[in-house]
Amino acid sequence: MIPKVSGWRLFAKAVIARAYPRMAGVLREKSWTFFDIFLPFLGTMAYVFVYRAIGAPEDFIGFVIMGGAMTSFWLNVLWGMGSQLYWEKESGNLVLYIIAPNSLMAVLLGMALGGMLSTCLRALVILGLGSLLFQVHFTVQNFAALFGVFVLTMTALYGLGMLCSSVFLLWGREAWHLANLFQEPVYLVSGFFFPVKALPHWIALGASIIPITLGLDAMRQLVFSHGASLGFLSVPLELGLLAVLSVVFIATARYALAYIERMAIQEGRLVEMRK
């Protein structure tokens, strides 16, 4: 007789089980890896040549390379988590996730971790090739702080992705349009290709609700020699704000996903709002 699994063991097994298909899919479809890595790298190169043409400081080239690498994590959150439950509904799999004994958070986390293979590969290739081709010099001042910023940024970012998944699911067919709507504006207000400090103060402050804005700004301050002078807020403050965002987004996502499960069970309908 197979022993019943519950608690954190069930959560961990659900994460691993849902991550495996995505990891296997990346390894089987080699062409996806090429298009996911090298085509976005061309867009990053375009910004580099613009900065070179106007004679911008060399640190700006590094800002672009790092921002281009971080776009892969934002896209994984937006498409790999934010709109995922909606697509699972369209394909008929969502009902299986609802009736399964594991939580939806485990399913979404497994999807995100499964997509991490291609995401990290894309980020490393952009960072590595960009550094070699354009002679970008990194000056890491505090490895512990850099690691802490990255971990907190990813935690808050994927908490936001879980929250977006429930919101997109409740809005139904608008999920596709919302995902497209949020992609380019976030590139702008989060300062992927320029220091967010260049934005008007209140716009930059409002953009800080997106974790990658603070995370990218803090990492640039820790990695580049002139990064601190172009930083929006101090690194300790950004670390504290990222920790707060992590707690807020994960707690809110847990409540939103529980609401979806409760609505599906009580009303017998999946993600359809009352008329």
Structure tokens at 273: 């709002």
Spatial CA neighbour of 159 closest among 221, 250, 243? 250
Per-residue pLDDT, 273: 44
Residues in Cβ contact with 63 at an 8 Å cutoff, skipping those fewer than 6 apart: 193, 194, 195, 220, 224, 230
Per-residue pLDDT, 244: 94
Residue-by-residue pLDDT tens, the chain, 275 positions = 456 666 778 888 888 888 887 777 766 766 666 777 777 778 788 888 888 888 888 888 888 888 888 888 888 787 777 777 777 777 777 777 777 777 778 888 888 777 777 788 788 888 888 888 888 888 887 888 889 999 999 889 888 888 888 777 777 666 667 777 777 888 888 888 888 888 888 888 888 998 999 999 999 998 887 777 888 889 999 999 999 999 999 999 888 888 877 777 776 665 444 44
Residue 209 host element (H or E): none
Question: What distances in angstroms separate CA 55 from CA 49, 129, 197, one per listed residue?
Answer: 10, 21, 19
Tokens 């209140």, located at residue: 202
Per-residue pLDDT, 6: 67
Residue 261 exposed, middle or buried by CB count within 10 Å (0-12, 13-18, 19+): middle
Coil, helix or strand for 160? helix
Structure tokens at 34: 């090429």
